[in-house]
Amino acid sequence: MSRSLPAVLLLLFLALWLAASYGVRYGLMEDAQWVGLCTAPGEYWQCQVRAVLGLGIHFQVMAWAGLGLALLAQVVPGRGGWWIAVLALVFGVPALVLYTASMAVFAVVLAGLRLVRQGRHG
């Protein structure tokens, strides 16, 4: 297996995750059809998802989770820290797209720095 294959797979996953995040933003959160359909609560499951996601956005849950994981990834050595940084990106990328960019940018940058940091022996 090539040494660059995990990096390529990670970049491919992050690109798809970014596209999915934009799909949620423009297809569910900002689409005018859902504003009208979600006036009657409990009618569509998409309205419940939209409401929970709206609360998560309001309280910046994804941004805080991404930032906390990115900070944790800085202190965890080895592959464990690398995987925690990937998880921080899983929370940080949608937080960038879903209206909490001011805090999520720090999570994404810290996680990215942890991903490219060399180990002490490598």
Q: How many angstroms separate the CA atoms of 54 and 33, rounded?
A: 16
Tokens of 101: 């960019």
CA 71 to chain centre: 15
| DSSP designation for 42 | T
Per-residue pLDDT of 9-60, as tens digits, reads 999 999 999 999 999 999 988 888 888 888 876 788 888 888 899 999 999 9
Both tokens of residue 84?
């925690």
In angstroms, the CA 85 to CA 8 distance is 16
Q: Which residue has the higher pLDDT, 92 or 32?
A: 92
pTM for this structure? 0.87
